[in-house]
Every structure is written in C-alpha cells, then in structure tokens.
Amino acid sequence: MKAITYSHYGPPEVLQLRDIPKPTPRDDEVLIKVQAAEATKSDCELRSFSYAVKWFWLPLRIAIGITRPRRQVLGGYFAGEVVALGKDVTQFSVGEQVFGSAGIRFGAYGEYVALPQSYTMVAKPRNMSFAQAAAVPLGGLNALHFLSRANIQPGQKVLINGAGASIGAHAVQIAKAMGAQVTAVDSAIKEQFLYSIGADHFIDYAKQDCLATGRKYDVIFNMVPHTSYSAAIAALNPHGRYLNGNPRLAVMLRSVLTSRFSDKTAIFAFAGETREELTTLKQMIEAGKVRSIVDRVYTMEQAAQAHSRVETEQRNGAVVIAIGDAP
C-alpha cells in the first residue's frame, strides 16, 4: 500500500510517498481503508520535533524515537471504510463508514490502518464527506472536552484565543450551540471565516491585545502557548473559568493555586478523546450545530505542501490529505 512516511526529523520535505506492507488486523482489530486524514499541528511537531511547549520534550523524545521516529507513518485523525475484521470484533461491520482517532498508533497517512475496536471511532456523520469528517475528531473532541468542563450557560461571554485553527473553530461552534456570546481572536485573514461559523465578535491579535480591551468574560479558552496567564485571569468575570489547551508547566502550577485560592477556576486537563464525546459530536453535526471547517484538501503527493500550510498558520480551519484514490 502507499503511505506518506518520514525516516528522520526535519522540515516538510522529509515526508516521502512510498510503498509499505499493508497491515493485517489482529483478532480484536478492524482494518480501515483510509479515505482522508487531517494534517494537524501535532503531526507537524512530531515530524520536526519542534514544540512551543518545552516541558515534555525529553520524555516525548524517548517515547517517539531519540535519533529517528519509531513510527514512520503519521496521521492520528481520519475517516474511512471498514474493509476487514478480526475474529473477535463485534462493534463494527465490513462496509461501515467511520471516523475517529488512531491514538498513539498513528498510521492514518497510509491507505490502510489496523486499529483495536476499542479505539475512539464511530459511524461517520451522514451529512459529511470523508474529508469533512476527518477534520472533526482532533478539534471537535478537544473543544467539546474543555467547553463541557466550563459549564457554559446561555448568554455568557466566551473568548476563544486562537480561534481559526481546528480546535478553535470547533470551539466557536460548540460554544454558540451552548448559547454563548463568542468573541474570536486570530489573524485578520480569518475574520470572515470565523464570522461565518458563528462568532459574534472578532479581535485581530496583530492590532489589539485581546486581554487588554477592558472587556470581561465568563469563559476564556486559550490555545496560544505564550499568552499572559495573569492578564487572562484578570479578564475574567467573578467565578469565571480559564481553559488552557496548551499549558506551560508554570501555567499548570498557577492554575492549581488560582482554582484553590480564588473565586475563579483554571482548567488545563487534557482531552480523553472518548467514544461518547465523538458520538455527541456526530449528533451535533447531523443536527446542523457543527459544520465542516475544511480549509484545503491535498493529495498524498502534496503532503509536504499540506504541512507547510498548517505551519504558516494561514489556514482557515483544518487541512486535510485525501488518501489513496479518494477524490
């Protein structure tokens, strides 16, 4: 089968399309013919081994590969079709269209991936293409995880910093579905996109510090690593909630103190990416509450271009790679 691989860390050009053995599912696994995979910021960080948040560098390097990557096929989020089942599989059937997460196995940049039936994957939404569905799990699961913990009430004011990428764009839609008034923060080129998916207000971070406007918010969801923690807490209303999706170690420690010794709550817990949450997202999509955020779709031969698009941060939403002969 064809797969996008990398044998050493580096720039997008280290990605190579080549033939590798097709996986065979074990007794508890399903074999999926991948139709589309999201090219994520995490994929780019793993490929280059360059991270904005540094505290987990050493343990991650040991886990992923010290001198070269142990798993040479990236791709954690996908949509595709089940084509074979292990003898113990009871939760899926051949021909079923699914979307979800490949977890730490990765492999969705290949034409086929074998995954345990227990992994976070469910039937694909009826009203989305494979490319559109592949763009949901990463951003949707993370956004739903955090915003569910924020206990947003109708009419509350929510600020989303870093709203134009996969997690932020899903957060805008989910917060709106919860009845919030949403202010989105990102670069000027993303303004119309963010209004189109439901943002009520927009702040161009290049022109204005979103935390220095004098406005107060009930919830701040921050995806930008070097945002001032003190300024974010100061911009909250009494009993406000600060959600940090990219925490530095110092921010994690300060979050504990804020939650314990003030009337505000700071949350940095990592998303569990559960099947129940993905089912909730599917239901929201089919009900029209969450829609596609695909920016561009690239072919497997254009994988390096897809990664470059993600890294330039010029995208409006998610970048997707069509796998195999998928249109």
Neighbour-count burial for 41-69, b at 16+ CB within 10 Å, e otherwise? bbbbbbbbeebeeeeeeeeeeeebbeeeb
The CA distance from 30 to 7, in Å, is: 26
How much is the average pLDDT of 80-96? 98
Cβ neighbours for 315, distance < 8 A, ≥ 6 positions apart: 164, 165, 295, 296, 309
User: Quick one: which of 240, 224, 214 has its CA closest to 184?
Assistant: 224
Q: How far is CA 208 from CA 123, 214, 218, 221, in A?
A: 42, 12, 20, 17
- Interatomic CA distance for residues 223 and 190, integer angstroms: 15
Give the residue from 202, 195, 197, 148 showing the smallest Cα distance to 173. Answer: 197
Report pLDDT for 53: 57
- The answer to whether residues 118 and 307 touch, using CB atoms and an 8 Å cutoff, is no
Read off the pLDDT band of 246 (50, 70, 90). confident
Helical ranges in the chain per DSSP H? 41-48, 57-64, 130-134, 137-149, 166-177, 191-196, 229-234, 249-261, 275-286, 303-312
Q: Would you give the end-to-end CA distance of the chain in angstroms?
A: 17
Cβ pair 76, 102 in contact under 8 A: yes
- Predicted confidence (pLDDT) at residue 127 exceeds the cutoff of 60: yes
Q: What is the mean pLDDT of residues 164-177?
A: 96
- Using the structure block, give the residue that is written with the tokens 């142990």: 70
In this predicted structure, the answer to whether residue 211 has a pLDDT above a threshold of 90 is yes
Mean pLDDT, to the nearest integer, of 122-141?
Answer: 97
Q: Lowest mean pLDDT: which of 204-208, 254-258, 271-275?
A: 271-275
Q: For the segment 188-199, what is each residue's pLDDT rounded down to a tens digit?
A: 999 999 999 999
pLDDT of residue 299: 98
In the prediction, which pLDDT does 230 show?
96
Find all residues with CB under 8 Å of 299, minimum gap 6, and list them.
321, 322
Long-range CB contact pairs, 12-19, < 8 A, 24+:
12/44, 12/47, 12/303, 12/304, 12/305, 12/307, 12/308, 12/311, 13/304, 14/47, 15/47, 15/303, 15/304, 15/307, 17/300, 17/301, 17/303
Is pLDDT above 80 for 231? yes
* Residues 26-73 pLDDT 10s: 999 999 999 999 999 999 999 998 766 555 666 676 777 777 888 899
pLDDT of residue 290: 97
* pLDDT interval class at 207 (50, 70, 90): very high
Computed over every residue of the chain, the mean pLDDT equals: 94
Amino acid 269: pLDDT: 76
DSSP letter for 74, please. -
* Residue 202: both structure tokens together: 């927009």
Say which DSSP state 44 is in. Answer: H
pLDDT band, very low/low/confident/very high, at 271 (cuts 50, 70, 90): confident
Strand partners, 184: 160, 202
Name the DSSP letter for residue 180.
Answer: -
Residue 38 is which amino acid? E
Which of these ranges, 68-82, 100-114, 173-187, 238-252, has the smallest mean pLDDT?
238-252
Confidence of residue 249 (pLDDT cuts 50, 70, 90): confident
Q: What is the pLDDT of residue 314?
A: 86
Please compute the mean of the pLDDT values over residues 227-248 and round it to a whole number.
93
Q: Which domains does the chain have, with CATH numbers?
A: 2-135+292-322 (3.90.180.10), 139-267 (3.40.50.720)
DSSP bridge partners of 267: 243
Lowest mean pLDDT across 45-59, 148-162, 279-293: 45-59
Query: How much is the average pLDDT of 307-318?
Result: 93
Check: CB of residue 40 under 8 Å from CB of residue 25.
no
